Amino acid sequence: MNLPASYLHWQDSARRLLEPLAALMQPGRADLDIHGPPSDHDKPADRLESFARPLTLAAFWLQSTARPEDAAFRTKLATWFRAGLIAGTNPAGPHYWGPDASYHQHHVEMGLTAIALQIAARDVWNPLSAEEKAQVARWFATCRGGGIVNNNHLFMSVHILEFLGKHGFAHRTDRAVITAHLNQLETMHRGGGWFEDGINQTYDHYNAYAFHFYGLMWTHLHGAQDQARATRWRDWAKLFVRDYQYFFAASGEHPAFGRSITYRFNCLNVFGLALAENCTDVAPGLLRRLCTRNLDFFLSRPIYTAQGALAPGFTDRFDKIIEPYSAPASPYWAAKGFTPLLLPPDHAFWNDAEQPLPAERGFVHVMKAPGLVTRSVPGGDIEILNAGSMVGNTQLRYGAWKWSKLSYRTGVHFCYAFPEISNVSLDSALTAQVDDGRIFGRHSTVPVELADDHLGYSWNLGFKTGQVNTGVETFVFWRAGWLLHVHHYDARQPVVLRVGGFALPLTNPKVERADLSAFCPDRRGTALQPLLGLTASEWDARLDDTTERRHVAAPYHVTPIAKTTRLAGAGVLAALSWAGTDRAESAPWRVVSGAAGAWQLSHPKLGDWELRHWSLPVLT
């Protein structure tokens, strides 16, 4: 049959990612020597990860429609993965991965391996002998009874045990464990297809990365045995896809937000699976445009190592972007993004006319369950405004600022802080510095208002150690590329408060700065306009290599900062922040009137902006 050009594009993209991995495949080995720093797990976990995640990429490609010109490469991949599977599960051999154990990373990679073996059963699992299959099953069975982190990791035992049962290796207690873990995962659903990630307490891309991937994959592979549960997961996915289409810019880029940012186009998996399970009412032509643009956005960026492997980072290589649990093969969780290859070549996804993305039309989209608002901004970018997602206090090692910014905007993104658990980045945030020099940002939050023109949340600057405590209520309003943020604070000890603007990413240190605005040669800019309570200014910047890189998307950055004097007690701060490419739009606003609860601002390009809200203080 003649394969659609769109289908061939995805097949070829997967193959181009597999070719550098194939070059690393050594006979007799059960791992790939992908260069990079180790994780904080152990060497066996990193070895298994270097097998399981590439296997997932290979599985999606191997099960797709075969072409004669790919025959030799298909044989090479399938042969190596079969041999590696046998070598890695042989306790008497030198390449044994070792068993699963309580709370071990093996559990995650074993769950992914079980899925991959079912997707590529024809090429990897079925050709094994009965004795070889029994050996692999004994290795999978080491997961039974182990402790599992109370988050999306519970899916892994589900997929492992379902795999064992499907192939005649079930234990009589397996079904009870599967049911218990699926029940526990379903308690994490908070409405609208959104899941709070257990102990992490977050709402972020992991809803696509994990919850809907594993939930829909269970439905796809095993749902026939529990139709009621499968229907629930399909219904949740339908709701989630309706929301998640609003997380992508016209370019296909999505905002860096939450942990595991290096998984990049993993975020796409939910769209392919939702179509495979016929549980989305979003047009296939729109979803193909979204998915292909996102995939191409990343694959066209400098995101590769010298070996040709996917490198840590987001839009380029940035080794320190990864969390402590990441290993050299971790970026290959992006392989999940190839779920569209589960769709046959005659599916509407590959053949329908493309439709414009929401970001190309303009939108504001409110999601009450996670406490998020997404909106488009001029030029095709989008941003996530977060009132409800936080990270649990036991997980602060990931860096609370991955969830706590005023805005997560494509084309701009944000800065990291190192080390994560004890430092805070200043951009797109209100922070508090106490007298001993420590700086605190947001990690707890409760949404109090969510609307299509503003949002509000109640939160705190501080922590239990030393009883540092500044209570805050924040309200954010938006117009074009601008955000207006109003912070009502009550400082229970002396602090210096800072309001940070957008961190402008720079590929080189050349930048033009004036007052609290900055522009780089490609016309992108950032601006901050203090309105109330902020009496001084400064810059947070990296413009040479004497300090380490901190920006997600570029080696250099500049961020305008406004700050208070040392103060205590209650008060209000207000500021306007902007990012974009239109200098005329970056011009400052004029306050026409600033009565309590009713402001009128005027802008030379954007015109009048009238605001009515109880949180607005008197502007003098």
**CA 71, CA 174: separation in Å to the nearest integer?**
39
The two structure tokens encoding residue 431: 């922070």
pLDDT at 72: 98
Instruction: Tell me the residue type at 545.
Output: D
The two structure tokens encoding residue 367: 């999601």
Q: What is the DSSP code string of 312-356?
A: SBSSSB-GGGS-TT--TTGGGGGGGGGGGGGS-TTSHHHHSPP--
The two structure tokens encoding residue 554: 């570029």
The DSSP output letter for 589 is: P
pLDDT at 394: 87
**CA 385, CA 454: separation in Å to the nearest integer?**
9
The two structure tokens encoding residue 264: 């990049």
Query: Which residues of the chain are in CATH 2.70.98.70 domains?
Result: 371-587
pLDDT at 246: 98
**CA 114, CA 358: separation in Å to the nearest integer?**
36
pLDDT at 420: 80
The listed CATH number (1.50.10.20, 1.10.260.40, 3.30.1490.190, 1.25.40.10) that belongs to domain 5-353: 1.50.10.20
CATH number of 371-587: 2.70.98.70
Which H or E run includes 178? helix 174-186
Cβ pair 148, 156 in contact under 8 A? yes
> Does the N-terminal peptide bond of residue 370 adopt cis geometry, omega within 30 degrees of 0?
no
**CA 273, CA 287: separation in Å to the nearest integer?**
12
* Three-state secondary-structure class, residue 276: helix
CB atoms within 10 A of CB 122: 11
**CA 529, CA 589: separation in Å to the nearest integer?**
8
CB atoms within 10 A of CB 55: 27
> Does the N-terminal peptide bond of residue 255 adopt cis geometry, omega within 30 degrees of 0?
no
The two structure tokens encoding residue 270: 């939910």
Instruction: Tell me the residue type at 511.
Output: V
The DSSP output letter for 588 is: P
Strand partners, 551: 415
pLDDT at 340: 98
Residues 6+ apart with CB under 8 A from 125: 117, 118, 133, 167
Specify burial of residue 54 (Cβ count, 10 A radius: 0-12, 13-18, 19+): buried
E strand intervals along 314-467: 364-367, 372-377, 381-386, 408-409, 430-433, 439-440, 445-450, 454-463
CA 316 to chain centre: 15
- Tell me the Cα Rg of the chain: 25
pLDDT at 335: 98
State how far the alpha carbon of 400 is from the alpha carbons of 383, 390, 550, in Å: 18, 7, 15
Query: Which residues of the chain are in CATH 1.50.10.20 domains?
Result: 5-353
**What is the block-wise mean pLDDT of the chain (620 residues), using blocks of 10 residues?**
94 98 97 95 96 98 97 98 98 98 96 98 98 98 96 97 98 97 98 95 96 98 97 98 98 97 98 98 98 98 98 97 93 98 98 98 98 97 97 90 96 93 93 96 96 98 93 98 98 98 96 96 96 98 96 98 98 98 97 98 98 96
